[in-house]
Chains A and B, each alone.
Chain A
Amino acid sequence: MLVNQFLILAAALFSLGVYGLLVRRNIVLILLSVELMLNAVNINLVAFESMIRSADATGQIFTIFIITVAAAEVGIGLAIVLMIFRNRRSADVSDLNLMRW
């Protein structure tokens, strides 16, 4: 089975995620970009698994763990967004410039 097209798709999604994370100013959109990157990794793992076909489906198990952790991470991220929004009525990261990067 060809695995290349899946890897290219995953690489494209990952790059889109990195681009979105660097360019977007809204925290919610940044969260979405992060999800895009993590899901690119999932595609990678599942594609590799279909090629390797290991005895205990390691790649797919890894994917399930990543999906779970990503859900928890988005939960944390949204909590932070809510906190920021309550304090300053906006979810724009370019307002967060009290300290130099």
Chain B
Amino acid sequence: MTWEIDYLALAPELVIVVTLLVVLALDLFLTRPNKYWTATAAVAGTALAAIPLVILAVEGENVSMFEGSYVVDEFALVLKGLFVVSAYLVLLLSHHYIESERFYQGEYYFLLLASVLGSLVMASARDLIILFIGLELTTGPLFLLAGWRKGDAKSNEASVKYFILGVLSTAILLWGMSMLYGLTGEITFAGLATATAGLADEPAMIVAVLFVIVGFAFKISAAPFHFWAPDTYEGAPTPVTAYLSVNSKAAGFVAFLLVMYLALPELSEIWAPALWILAAASMTLGNLSALRQSNIVRLLAYSSIAQAGFMLVPFAAAAVAGTNIEEGFSATVIYLVIYALMNVGAFATVIAGANRTATGDIDGWAGLGKIDARLGVLIGIFFFSLAGIPPLAGWFAKFAMFRAVILAGGTATVVLAVIAAVNAVIALYYYARVIKAVWLDDAPAEVPARAETPPSVSLRLALLISAALTIVIGFFPAIATFVGDASRIIAAGG
């Protein structure tokens, strides 16, 4: 047994660990007016974590540690890159929001960075224990962050609902994992992949896999296990909502895909139909509920449920058809990466828009584009991108999705593709409704022509970065294809 630790491969995690300890220590010594330094440290530390990621990507060597339980390969690096970039953007969104509402700052950044650390661990996890620890480290701090507006009844409610459903899903997931262990005696993905061969007819195995799927479905808020998401998203502070719908969802997705793709490929006849149902139900329920929303954050919550359905489509379709699973997997990862970038941007516009109009209602945003053209254009960019209109990044996500489905072929796959196509049209309707309110409706008289507080520098920077990425990927989808290719080079470890 060797316990050699490659510190360079662990450097991104280590940088985040050091940063969160620095933030905690700074919080102890700084006086109240100087607390903003904790935010600066958190932003700087997250930016620093990108450096070892780039070095590792250039080296391009697969590192496998702890007997294959912890692997740093290109797939892990791509997703760690995504987690670091989106965490950086969320930190930028948080900065002004947290300071202006007089929240506790040091603890906020400490908990957010702890959650980022969990998501980084999850991208490298190749056994059930590390996966479980990563998942809990990602979601645990978020139970508290969802209730960060302590005096606000809605935020309290968001926190309680998220907590109860979060621990319930953890328990269900663990039950499934314990059955997997009991039936095979393995916890590493590589070991499970060989030990589960031929067990697809075992009733206990079917139960175990279904429990694992239900546990993950709660985490990624796929219908019909999504009902906590809109309430939590609405009640939580908006930067936390952005983090929930981007990082924490992406991390849940990564864990879900890893377990299905690496650990249980032999059991795809059990989980493929379940994924098919989750994908179809999430798209349909998410989109139909989004149509009726008047609050912009709730609309984005249901939209993110629907987008989770779209993300599952290529992987589920390929698994049901039993062909081109690699294509399906990389299309799902491409979708995940693009979704994360444009959704952070959408939430940044929500913060800026709510700051400008003092309301989160879509009707309250009427005429926003005429008062503040720059913000209006940005809202247009992100919401059209979410709808999948070229030349914005969202179109390529949808394109990759449909391409993988067509490659897979088969009747069940075609049915799923038709459901996805119908849903893409429904989604366009409610995204366009926001843009119509912003650009075509007349502004109510009481909205002042000039903003009382202009958007902060950090918020502008976050908007700029995410808008730039959304446009650049839309024009040069080769970047996203590269991401997809890298995700195909995935080491099982062991």
Interface residues of A (CB under 8 A from B): 3, 7, 14, 17-18, 21, 27, 30, 34, 37-38, 40-41, 44-45, 47-48, 51-52, 54, 58-59, 61-62, 65-66, 69, 72-73, 76-77, 79-80, 83-84, 87-88, 93, 96-101
Contacts of B228 in A (CB 8 A): 101
Contacts of B143 in A (CB 8 A): 76-77, 80
Most B CB within 10 A of own CB, among A40, A65, A99: A99
Whether B161 is near chain A, meaning CB under 8 Å from some CB there, is yes
Q: Which residue of A lies closest to B164 (CB)?
A: A30
Contacting pair B144 A80 (CB below 8 A): yes
Q: Which residues, 116 to 161 on B, are CB-close (under 8 Å) to A?
A: 128-129, 132-133, 136, 140, 143-144, 147, 150-151, 153-154, 156-157, 159-161
Contacting pair A76 B150 (CB below 8 A): no
Whether B167 is near chain A, meaning CB under 8 Å from some CB there, is yes
Instruction: Write the nearest CB–CB distance from B130 to chain A, whole angstroms.
Output: 9
Whether B268 is near chain A, meaning CB under 8 Å from some CB there, is no
Within 8 Å by CB of B133, from A52, A65, A83, lies: A65
Contacting pair A44 B182 (CB below 8 A): yes
Contacts of B164 in A (CB 8 A): 21, 30, 34, 93
Contacting pair A87 B151 (CB below 8 A): yes
Whether B227 is near chain A, meaning CB under 8 Å from some CB there, is yes
Grouping DSSP codes into helix (H, G, I), strand (E, B) and loop, the B interface class, with mixed when no group exceeds half, is: helix
CA distance A99 to B227 in the complex (A): 11
Take A59-B181, A99-B234 as given contacts and tell me if A84 and B187 are in contact as well, using a CB distance cutoff of 8 Å.
no
Whether B426 is near chain A, meaning CB under 8 Å from some CB there, is no
Contacting pair B231 A99 (CB below 8 A): yes
Within 8 Å by CB of B227, from A17, A80, A101, lies: A101
CA distance A80 to B174 in the complex (A): 23
Contacting pair A69 B136 (CB below 8 A): yes
Contacting pair A41 B171 (CB below 8 A): yes
Contacts of A59 in B (CB 8 A): 181-182
Instruction: Write the nearest CB–CB distance from B176 to chain A, whole angstroms.
Output: 9
Whether B376 is near chain A, meaning CB under 8 Å from some CB there, is no
Contacts of B170 in A (CB 8 A): 38, 73
Contacting pair A69 B132 (CB below 8 A): yes
CA distance A87 to B155 in the complex (A): 11
Instruction: Write the nearest CB–CB distance from A44 to chain B, whole angstroms.
Output: 4
Contacting pair A45 B175 (CB below 8 A): no
CA distance A26 to B174 in the complex (A): 24
CA distance A41 to B178 in the complex (A): 7
Contacts of A72 in B (CB 8 A): 136, 140
Contacts of A44 in B (CB 8 A): 175, 178-179, 182
Whether B168 is near chain A, meaning CB under 8 Å from some CB there, is yes
Contacting pair B157 A99 (CB below 8 A): yes
Within 8 Å by CB of B187, from A37, A62, A83, lies: A62
Instruction: Write the nearest CB–CB distance from B32 to chain A, whole angstroms.
Output: 22
Q: Which residues, 180 to 220 on B, are CB-close (under 8 Å) to A?
A: 181-182, 185, 187
CA distance A98 to B161 in the complex (A): 12
Contacting pair A87 B156 (CB below 8 A): yes
Whether B163 is near chain A, meaning CB under 8 Å from some CB there, is yes
CA distance A83 to B104 in the complex (A): 15
Contacting pair B159 A17 (CB below 8 A): no
Contacts of B147 in A (CB 8 A): 80, 83
Contacts of A45 in B (CB 8 A): 178, 181-182
